[in-house]
Amino acid sequence: MNEHPLLPADHHQRQMQALQDPVALKYLRRFLCDFAADPTDISPQDAAWLRARGFLPEKMDLYDFATHDIDLYLSDVQRWMTREINGDFTIVFNNKILFTQVFRNFCKVAPINAIWRNGRVISYDGLWQACISETHTPPVRLVIKPLGGGGGGNVFFVSVGRKSAVIESNDPERPRFTLPLPKLERIFEGARVPFMVTEFVEQGTFTKALYPLTVNTLRMLVVRDPDSLQPHVVRCVQRIGTSASYPIDNFSMGGLSAEIDLETGRLGPALAAAGPAKGQTWECHPETGAPIAGQVVPGWADVLNEVRSLFLQIPYIAYCGFDLILTEAGLVVLEGNSYSQVRLFQMHRPLLTDPTYVRVLEHAGIMHRPPA
């Protein structure tokens, strides 16, 4: 049963049938290509039901359609359309260096050490050059990731010693390898996209206790209320790494997602979209036994206030999924996503039960109510 008066019955199917403008058709084409490539094994009837409403086949396994009406979930087509909400300012989120240079004026971010593009490294602060010339002071820990895109692919964690560096990544072909420091640029061999090098951010004791082998980040979805223009926190989850996602906490690669109660900061049970932990609800970490459900984020009210304040200081932002690291010294904003992945939210419960979120989508032309 539809649980929100702003949502007309079967609005997803109506929207799919009405898509006409070039931008919407672009996302429809992307959806149909992704739908055809999705390996999830479902019946032809289920496939037709999902396709008509803009959902990929994987959602039949990931979302609880038996408990919640499909109308209450943000569809995959709608999720792609949220990319347009920030308009021209989406560019700030599509380039991690630009994001860092903008947001460092308002919050703590991971400092940039260097970028790699067009076959060469451009140093920002001299640390990279000191490492390859062996004039640094070990130990040094660095993170190397692509300038654009998401999903956690091609991320390298570099532990720099006195004469060599140990590199770990989520690339199955090169999960762990060592390079002499003068040859450190070999990390980028075969790369076809630019990369950035930043300092490693040490997480605090709370998130480290959840799983000590990865930096476990918060994903917080924040929107601007189209009426009051005030920031509104829609949902927040704690991501937690596993051996399947190592060396990152990425949800698409087997990491866990535990919803955080926005009033109390208390974690609920964790779920996984992939890997060995998929298909069960986890009160404790499936590998370490560390408690998850019932744990409370320290200083939760301060976290919420800091993110809301950040949103107010950058008035051109209307929609963002922030990745946040809780450190002993405070909050570090790792990056922002202009069209945040929503599986890690909606596996717990659908997003369209939030009236403010619905109004944001309606204001952006992503949802339409039929005339009275």
Q: Reply yes or no on whether the pLDDT at 6 is more than 80.
A: no
pLDDT tens digit sequence for 92-106? 998 888 999 999 999
pLDDT band, residue 33 (cuts 50/70/90): very high
61-65, 169-173, 198-202, 247-251: least confident range: 169-173
All domains in the chain, ordered by first residue? 11-85 (no CATH), 87-107+204-338 (3.30.470), 112-199 (no CATH)
**Calpha distance 333→212 (Å, rounded):** 20
Please give the pLDDT value at position 168: 96
Sheet with 176-180: strands ordered across: 120-123, 112-117, 195-199, 140-146, 156-160, 164-169, 176-180
Please give the pLDDT value at position 369: 66
Which amino acid, residue 23? V
Q: Tell me the pLDDT of the chain averaged across its residues.
A: 93
Express as a percent the part of the chain with pLDDT over 70: 96
Give, for 55, the enclosing helix (H) or strand (E).
none
pLDDT tens digit sequence for 334-362? 999 999 999 999 999 999 999 999 999 99
pTM of the predicted model as reported, rounded to 2 decimal places:
0.94
Place of tokens 């419960």: 349
pLDDT band, residue 9 (cuts 50/70/90): confident
Query: For residue 345, which phi and psi values (nearest 5 degrees)?
Result: -90, -50
Residue 178, classed as helix, strand or coil, is: strand
Determine how β-strand 218-224 pairs with β-strand 195-199: unpaired
Q: Reply yes or no on whether the pLDDT at 331 is more than 90.
A: yes
Please give the pLDDT value at position 8: 77
pLDDT band, residue 368 (cuts 50/70/90): confident
- Inter-residue contact 356 to 232 (CB < 8 Å): yes
For helices 44-51 and 22-37, the axis angle rounded to 10 degrees is 160
Please give the pLDDT value at position 370: 54
